[in-house]
Amino acid sequence: MHINIAWQDVDTVLLDMDGTLLDLAFDNYFWQKLVPETWGAKNGVTPQEAMEYMRQQYHDVQHTLNWYCLDYWSEQLGLDICAMTTEMGPRAVLREDTIPFLEALKASVSSEFCSPMRIRTTWR
């Protein structure tokens, strides 16, 4: 399906990073393996107990803003989630279509739109 967009009239494009620009493999590894393992080791519980605990924690806040809040998870779990994401950052990779998409977007909009002052991210 092709949608014609009047890009000259667009002044804002919002993109989700996880699964849109970045491959979800990093998120899956981080939240389903690394965080439970780290929390379990810190709290002296088995990997299975840690996984069950984390599943419940995730379930309790799904569909809320806390789900997306690294500060919330740091406080809730007693882990430095921001430091963990920074340490694991090199594992995050772009989807193969990200660069072509961003280049096409850049070519479709005015140079004023793509100025560095107009680019915003929520990445910490």
Q: How many domains does the chain have?
A: 2
Structural domain boundaries, residue 37? 32-92
State whether residue 18 is helix, strand or coil. strand
pLDDT of residue 117: 46
pLDDT of residue 115: 57
| Same-domain status, 19 and 50 | no
- Digit-coded pLDDT (tens) for 49-73: 999 999 999 999 999 999 989 999 9
Residues with catalytic roles:
9
Q: Is-contact 31 18, C-beta < 8 A?
A: no
Helices (H), the chain: 25-29, 35-43, 47-61, 70-77, 81-88, 98-108
| Same-domain status, 39 and 57 | yes
pLDDT of residue 30: 95
| Same-domain status, 122 and 102 | yes
| Same-domain status, 79 and 98 | no
Query: How far is it, in rounded angstroms, from Cα 85 to Cα 107?
Result: 32
pTM to 2 decimal places: 0.73
pLDDT of residue 111: 61
| Same-domain status, 83 and 112 | no
Q: Which residues of 14-26 are buried (b: 16+ CB within 10 A; e: fewer)?
A: eeeeeeebbbeeb
CA dist 104 → 98, 99, 107 (Å): 10, 8, 5
| Same-domain status, 40 and 68 | yes
| Same-domain status, 39 and 74 | yes
State whether residue 94 is helix, strand or coil. strand
- Residue given tokens 């694991």 in the structure block: 88
